[in-house]
Each structure stands twice: as structure tokens, then as C-alpha cells.
Structure 1
């Protein structure tokens, strides 16, 4: 669930500090550089659907939206966190859970509604738009930003 936080910078909204439901981990990727994002996209899509992600695939379906959100959240973690960035795909009942970890627990994730494209914050904006729920938490000096999606579109 996304909650606004009153008393903060105008136009800023913060995602809630909460853990996702308990999940069974299906797969995980460890990223050290932005060059590995292409591998993440293809491998995550295949893990979700069993099929290869087509070049320029439309964003009509849940798997493509999940791949986009995972890529954007991983980009944020690589840009603003300390390596490695870890992307986990899990399942909690009838939902997929994306969990993106970075090693900068002191910085709370935030997004600015209405921020122009190209000026950062796209990952959280897309997660808010496409996911059922999003949140974040810190555990053992690692920050987790997560998003839940329905298993079927």
C-alpha cells in the first residue's frame, strides 16, 4: 500500500515502510552494473512466463509490466545504492513479489508525482502505477523495495 507522508517536501510522496507478505523465492539475480539489466529483463520474463521477452514487447500484460518495474527499481538501486543490487522474484499466494535489495539502508525510497521523465524517480512511479502494492523495509543493513503483481494478467 502507498501512503503519503504529511509535513515533507511539497510534491513528494513516500512509499510505506512495511515488509511484503511471506514469499517463496523463485529466482534471484545479482547485479553489479547497469550492463546486466538486459540479462535481468530477459531472464525475469522467462522466469515468469517460460517464454523469451520479445524486443519492443507491448506493456499490455503483467509480465512485461513486472519486467519494466524490476528494471527501473534495479536501475535506481545501482545508481543510488552500494553494490551488489539483488533482484528477487517470489510468490505469495496468488501474487508475484519483486524484491530489489541495495546496500544503502539510510536512504528512504521516494518519488515525486509529476516529475518530468528523464529526471529520475521513474521506477517508483511505474511501480505505483502497475503494482497492486509497493513498500520498503530495512533488514540486516540492506534496504528492500518491493512490489506485488497478480499471477495472471
Structure 2
């Protein structure tokens, strides 16, 4: 099992929206609202976001599901943006554990959330505050030239 790098998200990122989740039933609403928020805030110089909302929503669902399953409620999902990227920050209230990427096999039913985040995002990291453990992932806001 691998360990994620310890690093807070970029400090210049501005919060766009935040969601508080109590249980897995809240994940469907998160996906819909997150996609809408990304589309609303995502147009930079008239460009379309292509697949970005779908990727962010997928990673958000995976990370929030992990937080709900393995952390302590409530789970807080925050969407932030800097000039060139969106940042997804997922917090739970279990500050005693360190997030690790799993060694999930092809037939395993779980253990892929962090692996998925690492493969679909620009960067993934984690940090702790006095009350939360946060995992973040960043996504390109603009299409590459």
C-alpha cells in the first residue's frame, strides 16, 4: 500500500461551493450539484469544459464514499478554483488515520478510490487540520494547447 504525499492544496484557490454529506444517500445529489457548479464556474475565456465535470464528479464520489465508509461524519466536499485548475477537497473528521492507496485486485469490490483519483487528476495529496483529514485532487481548468 502506498502513501499519498502530504501537502495542502494551492493557497491561492478560491472556494466555489461546499457540500456536507451525512451518508451514502447524499452522493447522488453531490454528483448533480457538483457537475452544475463546475459548468457554471468553469467557462474560462469562452471554452467548454469537455469531460472535466464528469471526471471531477467521479473522483468526488469515490473520495466522498471512502470518507463516509472509513472516516467520521460529517464528510465535507469543497470545490475550489485557481486560475488554471479546479481543486476538489474531501474532508472527514477522523484525524487518527493516514490515507493510503490500496492494492486492489481486478476482482476486488473496493479499494480503488485513491488509485482512481491519482489516475484521473493532475495531482492528489492530503493534509490534516485540528479537526479534519482532507484529501484533495486537482483538475485542469482549461484544455491543453
Shorter-chain TM-score category?
0.7 to 0.9
Q: Is the 8 A contact 2:104 2:112 kept in 1?
A: no
* 1:122 correspondence with 2:112: yes
**Alignment partner of 1:70 out of 47, 60, 76:** 60
- Residue 85 (structure 1) aligns with: 75
- Structural mapping, 1:98-137, within 5 Å: 98-116=88-106, 118-137=108-127
Q: Any gaps of 5 or more consecutive residues in structure 1?
A: 1-11, 51-59
| TM-score between both structures, scaled by the size of structure 2 | 0.86
Q: CA RMSD in A?
A: 1.4
| TM-score between both structures, scaled by the size of structure 1 | 0.82
Does the C-alpha gap of structure 1 residues 92 and 114 become closer, same or farther in structure 2, counting only changes over 3 Å? same
**Alignment partner of 2:9 out of 10, 16, 20:** 20
**In 2, Cα distance between equivalents of 1:81 and 1:16:** 19
Q: Any gaps of 5 or more consecutive residues in structure 2?
A: 41-49
**In 2, Cα distance between equivalents of 1:63 and 1:125:** 19
Aligned residue pairs, count: 133
